[in-house]
């Protein structure tokens, strides 16, 4: 997939999984930045062969920008925000930036990492994982009654990670309760963004279509 204009050569290449929440967050950032970038999708069986000479961990996402090779979604996304400062997706002051990084860490450690368990074969672990995600997101509900996005009224890098997570909830069997209505409304705002719609792979589009058909 090439998201650049045919007349211009992409300045970056992102190796992305088809249904990888970490890759998805990086794709959202790229489309929010409206940057020329070639997106190369690789599936799990291809990752080692394709990335063997680029990434010692043989994982997606992996970003190439000229001679620079980056891996780890958090590193890639902060690099993109510094490399392409418009629109800014991270706060300017150090304290707010630290809080944003803590929130990203919480999203990954508390919820995103549990997604595989939600669709795994161990029913007990799946139920526990779904409950943890549901309870954690429900606890965030008051935030969205007073502000539009997770850090305030401006869309930020943190929202990119949340969008990738929230999109996968139906496919993982996670249903938010009525008291989390403000979280569902927040998710709708994220999904309605043009960059988010552009960021979706065909497999990711199918995740929601299968559950809403």
Domain co-membership, 167 together with 115: yes
CATH number at residue 22: 3.40.30.10
In a domain, 1, yes or no: no
DSSP class of residue 8 equals S
In a domain, 208, yes or no: no
Q: Rounded to an integer, what distance in angstroms lies between the CA atom of residue 19 and that of residue 74?
A: 17
Q: Rounded to an integer, what distance in angstroms lies between the CA atom of residue 60 and that of residue 44?
A: 9
Whether the CB-CB separation of 145 and 176 falls below 8 Å is answered with no
CB atoms within 10 A of CB 77: 25
Order of strands, sheet of 37-42, starting from the edge strand that comes earlier in the sequence: 37-42, 12-17, 62-65, 68-71
Q: Which two tokens stand for residue 30?
A: 């790229």
Q: Rounded to an integer, what distance in angstroms lies between the CA atom of residue 209 and that of residue 21?
A: 17
Over its C-alpha atoms, the chain yields an Rg (Å, rounded) of: 17
Q: Rounded to an integer, what distance in angstroms lies between the CA atom of residue 153 and that of residue 103?
A: 16
Whether the CB-CB separation of 201 and 19 falls below 8 Å is answered with yes
| Per-residue pLDDT, 134 | 98
The residue out of 83, 106, 123 marking a domain boundary is: 83
3-class state of residue 64 by DSSP: strand
In a domain, 51, yes or no: yes
The residue out of 61, 83, 105 marking a domain boundary is: 83
Report the residue count for the chain: 213
| Per-residue pLDDT, 8 | 53
- List, for residues 103-160, the tens digit of each pLDDT value: 999 999 999 999 999 999 999 999 999 999 999 999 999 999 999 999 999 999 999 9
Q: To which H or E segment does residue 187 belong?
A: helix 181-192
Check the CA dihedral 59-133-157-75 and report its sign: negative
Q: Say if residue 61 is preceded by a cis peptide, omega within 30 of 0.
A: yes
If pLDDT is split at 50, 70 and 90, which confidence band does 9 have? low
Domain co-membership, 45 together with 102: no
Mean pLDDT rounded to a whole number for the chain: 91
Q: In the chain, how many domains are there?
A: 2
| Per-residue pLDDT, 116 | 96
The residue out of 83, 112, 137 marking a domain boundary is: 83
Domain around 24 = 12-83
Whether the CB-CB separation of 129 and 114 falls below 8 Å is answered with yes
Mean pLDDT score, 76-83: 96
Check the CA dihedral 192-195-197-200 and report its sign: negative
Mean pLDDT score, 206-213: 60
Whether the CB-CB separation of 16 and 40 falls below 8 Å is answered with yes
Structure-token match 């589009």, residue found:
205
């Amino acid at each position: 997939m090439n998201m650049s204009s045919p007349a211009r050569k992409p300045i970056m290449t992102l190796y992305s999984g088809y249904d990888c929440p970490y890759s998805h967050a990086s794709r959202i950032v790229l489309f929010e930045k409206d940057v020329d970038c070639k997106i190369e999708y690789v599936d799990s069986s291809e990752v080692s062969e394709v990335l063997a000479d680029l990434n010692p961990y043989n994982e997606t996402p992996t970003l190439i920008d000229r001679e620079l090779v980056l891996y780890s979604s958090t590193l890639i996304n902060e690099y993109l925000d510094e490399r392409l400062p418009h629109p800014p997706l991270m706060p300017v002051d150090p304290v707010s930036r630290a809080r944003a990084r803590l929130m990203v860490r919480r999203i990954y450690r508390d919820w995103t990492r549990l997604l595989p368990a939600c669709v795994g074969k161990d029913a007990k672990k799946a139920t526990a994982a779904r409950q943890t995600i549901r309870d954690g997101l429900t606890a965030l509900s008051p935030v969205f009654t007073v502000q539009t996005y997770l850090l305030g009224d401006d869309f930020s890098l943190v929202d990119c990670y949340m969008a990738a997570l929230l999109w996968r909830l139906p496919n993982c069997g996670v249903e938010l309760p009525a008291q989390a209505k403000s979280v569902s409304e927040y998710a709708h705002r994220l999904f309605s963004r043009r960059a988010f719609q552009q960021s979706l792979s065909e497999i990711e589009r199918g995740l929601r279509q299968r559950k809403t058909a």
